[in-house]
Amino acid sequence: MKRRLYPGRDYRRAQNIDELREMARRRLPNFSFEYVEGGADDEVTLRRNRSVFESITLQPRTLRAVGARDLRRDFLGVESKLPFMIGPTGFNGLLTHQGDLHLAEAAAQAGIPFVLSNASTVSIEDIAAVEGVRAWMQIYLYRTREHVAKLVERVSRLGLEAIMVTTDSAIFGNREWDRRNYVRPLKLDWRNRLDTALHPEWMWDVLVPHGVPRFKNMGDLLPPGQDSVKGAASALAAELDPTLAWADIAWLRDIWKGKLIVKGLMHPADAEIALKYGVDGLVLSNHGGRQLDGAVSAMDTLPEVVQRARGHMQVFLDGGFRRGSDIAKALLLGADGVSIGRAGLYGLAAGKGPGASHAIDILRVELDRTVGLLGCSGLDELRPELIHDPLWRARAQQALG
């Protein structure tokens, strides 16, 4: 009998993240799935984000008494039950109604942080009201700094723990496959309009009776009546600021007294600069392969950044994490934790809130199994000597001293 993934819609039967991905692909109209899935240009970086994990092989120990395993990690001085967070992803209202709220609830149930995107269709206030949530806020430093200052004030008033500022989108990436779905900006071509009509379950969830999802945290940045996902596109594009520089990080550090995380750095030299600006953490990221095509993966640059930041800033990363073993490899190279993007969205699209929780649980179980099979009883026992490849092992050893 030929192997095949489960062809149905019951997210609970998904054995792994790739199976959730296929369920999401079937449930979503093409244009919505493509927005989640696609990368920039020839998608070289998108593929590298996955292929890098195959280049790191492991050499486990045995007879190590690993009956009880501890997956907890300290994130910014507070315990996280797992060494990963739900990272910021925009436009989630196009996957399911109140998508960000579902993700926040799933993160709270799992005891991990949830990072709300600046481009969310759920308000910060609604996220902050989720019971037990550990919420962080992602922002862009738009040209209209007054809007950014008001957003920071809002975040402070709600008592959110951290702001994560994204720095790699001052110029918008070239996402050709996404654009091919439209005859003009956000006007679907006839094939995609027909395809959308063939997804009535999605339409009744997302569009009826709620209408086109609206941005809930843009406030005075958008013209009156232009806060929908469709209407805001041109206004947001005009707000991207290619003059963004370290002086802007200093400005943000001055007005925000909580934890500050800089996302999008990929060069060790930039990590050294970040130390001068009172940054509490970094997220190494190539924006899921959606910005500069041909860029290295975050895993490629992780050891050198850890070497410079260790003891001064926490280092997180994202990009291509689909297995618990992927997370373990990042920890072996010195990461404090990882940020999950598409993996959580596949679960969300396949099964709403319970589907997102299932995605988290899949990664938890896989990571727990990987740690045990490596011969470790906790994350603190993950050491570079468990990496078989001489080059990767040497880089990890140099990074961790």
CA–CA separation, 133 vs 235, rounded Å?
31
Query: Token digits for 177?
Result: 């496959």
Q: Is 377 annotated as a binding residue?
A: no
**How many other CB atoms sit within 10 Å of the CB of residue 37?**
20
Query: Token digits for 31?
Result: 């244009």
Q: Is 97 annotated as a binding residue?
A: no
Q: Is 9 annotated as a binding residue?
A: no
**How many other CB atoms sit within 10 Å of the CB of residue 391?**
10
Q: Is 321 annotated as a binding residue?
A: yes
Q: Is 289 annotated as a binding residue?
A: no
DSSP 143: S
Q: Is 322 annotated as a binding residue?
A: yes
Q: Is 285 annotated as a binding residue?
A: yes
Q: Is 175 annotated as a binding residue?
A: yes
Q: Which residues neighbour 391 within 8 Å (Cβ) at sequence distance 6 or greater?
A: none
Q: Which residues neighbour 271 within 8 Å (Cβ) at sequence distance 6 or greater?
A: 265, 282, 305, 308, 309, 313, 315
Q: Residue 253: what residue type? A: R
Helix (H, G, I), strand (E, B) or coil at 289: helix
Q: Is 121 annotated as a binding residue?
A: no
Residue of 102, 287, 312, 358 marked catalytic? 287
Contact (CB, 8 A) for 341 and 349: no
Q: Is 138 annotated as a binding residue?
A: yes
Contact (CB, 8 A) for 140 and 118: yes
Q: Is 290 annotated as a binding residue?
A: yes
Q: Is 117 annotated as a binding residue?
A: yes
Helix (H, G, I), strand (E, B) or coil at 348: helix
Helix axes 44-54, 324-332, angle to 10 degrees: 80
**How many other CB atoms sit within 10 Å of the CB of residue 222?**
18
φ/ψ region of 211 (left if φ > 0, alpha if ψ in -120 to 50, else beta) reads: left
Q: Is 62 annotated as a binding residue?
A: no
Residues, the chain = 401
Query: Token digits for 91?
Result: 């436009």
Q: Is 398 annotated as a binding residue?
A: no
DSSP 132: T
Catalytic residue list contains 358: no
Q: Is 45 annotated as a binding residue?
A: no
Query: Token digits for 150?
Result: 């008001």
Q: Which residues are annotated as a binding site for glyoxylate?
A: 35, 140, 175, 263, 287, 290
Binding-site annotation: residue ranges for FMN: 88-90, 117, 138, 166, 285, 318-322, 341-342
Residue ranges at the known binding site: 35, 88-90, 117, 138, 140, 166, 175, 263, 285, 287, 290, 318-322, 341-342
Catalytically annotated residues: 287
